[in-house]
Amino acid sequence: MPVPASVEKLYKEFDSECKKGGPNCDKLCSQLKLEIAKVGNQLLVDSQDTALLQMAREVYEKGAFLAIKKNDIPAFERNVKQLKIYYRDFDKKIGVKSANEYKILGLYLLALLAGDRIGEFHTELELVPQHDSHFIERPVLLERYLMEGNYAKINQSVAQFSSQEYYPIFLEQLLATMRRRIIESLGRSTPAVSLDRVAKMLYMKSVNEVKEFLKKIQDEKMDDEPTTWTVNGNMFQVVTNAGNEKINSLQAIGHAIDYATELERIV
C-alpha cells in the first residue's frame, strides 16, 4: 500500500516545519500519528510498498527529538517504544537503516540510566544489535562509573558530553541520581559531616546549593519513608534510632574525597 496522498502532503508540511523549528511541529506530529493509526497495523505489515513504514518511522523519530526539546521525557519514551517496532520488527521489511536509530537508542539508554532504572538499562542494552556506536558506548561507560561509585569520572564525563545535542536534560538527571546515591550512602554511614564537605562530595559550588538539593530530596520522600538524616546549622547529621547503630566512617569518607580530588588532578 503506497503512502496516501493526504498523509504524504501532511508529512511534507511537518518535515518543513521541523527543519525551520516552527511552532506547529507538535500539532502536525500528532495529526500524522493519528493518520498512521488509521491505516492500521495490519495494512502496514501487509504493505508491499515500504514507503509508508519508513515515513512512520521518521515521524516517531522526529517526535522523540521534539519531546526532548520540550523536556518531556515520558513523551520521549512513548515515541521510543513505538520506534522499537520499526527498528526490530520491520527492520528487514524496510530494508534501509535509519541514521537516527543508534542515536535514539543511546538516548533511551541514557534516560534509563539517569532515572536509576538499571535493570531496564541492561535489558534494553541486550537488545541493541551493535555496541560499537559511540551513541551506545557513552551510556555504557557512564553506567559502569555509576556502578563503581566513580563519581569523579561521572562528573568529568557530564562536562565532556554536555555539548552533545539532546544530552543536557539526561545528564542533569544523571547528576541528580548520582548525588542521591551519595546522600543515601552518607545517611547510612556517618553521624555528621559539614555541609561544606558535602558540597565537595556532590560537586556543588555552595552550601546553599546543597541545602536546596537536600530539601528537594526530603520533599520527594513518601510519607512512609523514614528520614535518616537532617540538616542542623552547617552540619549534615544522621537521625539515629534506638537500637540502630550507625557506623562512623567519616575518616573513610574523607579518604574518598581526597582520592576523587587526586584522580581529577591526574586526569
Distance CA 31, CA 94 (A): 23
Q: Is residue 266 a part of any domain in this protein? A: yes
Q: What is the pLDDT of residues 197-244, one digit of tens each?
A: 999 999 999 999 999 999 998 888 765 566 678 898 899 988 765 344
For residue 6, pLDDT over 70 is answered with yes
Write down the pLDDT at residue 250.
47
- Give residues with Cβ within 8 angstroms of 116, minimum separation 6: 177, 180, 181
CA distances from 157 to 140, 141, 199, 248 (A): 12, 9, 19, 31
How many secondary structure helices (H) and strands (E) does the chain include? 14, 3
For residue 148, pLDDT over 70 is answered with yes
Q: Is residue 239 a part of any domain in this protein? A: yes
Write down the pLDDT at residue 185.
87
| Residue 101 or residue 189, greater confidence | 101
> What's the total number of domains in the chain?
1
Write down the pLDDT at residue 200.
95
Task: Give the SS3 label for residue 161.
Answer: helix
Q: Is residue 88 a part of any domain in this protein? A: no
Q: Is residue 212 a part of any domain in this protein? A: yes
Burial profile 90-116: b = 16 or more Cβ within 10 angstroms, e = fewer: bbeebeeebebbbbbbbbbbbbbbbbb
Contacts of residues 159-168 at CB distance under 8 Å and 24 or more positions apart, as own/partner, are 166/65, 166/68, 166/69, 166/107, 167/107, 167/110
Q: What is the pLDDT of residues 124-138, one digit of tens each?
A: 999 998 898 999 999
Task: Write the CATH number for 254.
Answer: 1.10.10
Give the domain range for residue 225: 177-267
Q: Is residue 1 a part of any domain in this protein? A: no
Find the helix or strand (DSSP H, E) in which 156 lies: helix 151-161
| Residue 183 or residue 244, greater confidence | 183
Write down the pLDDT at residue 144.
97
Write down the pLDDT at residue 129.
86
- E-strand stretches of the chain: 192-194, 229-232, 235-238
Q: Which of 138, 202, 192 is nearest to 170 (CA)?
A: 138
Q: Is residue 214 a part of any domain in this protein? A: yes
Q: Is residue 53 a part of any domain in this protein? A: no
Q: Is residue 112 a part of any domain in this protein? A: no
| Residue 153 or residue 224, greater confidence | 153
Q: What is the pLDDT of residues 236-256, one digit of tens each?
A: 988 765 344 444 444 445 545
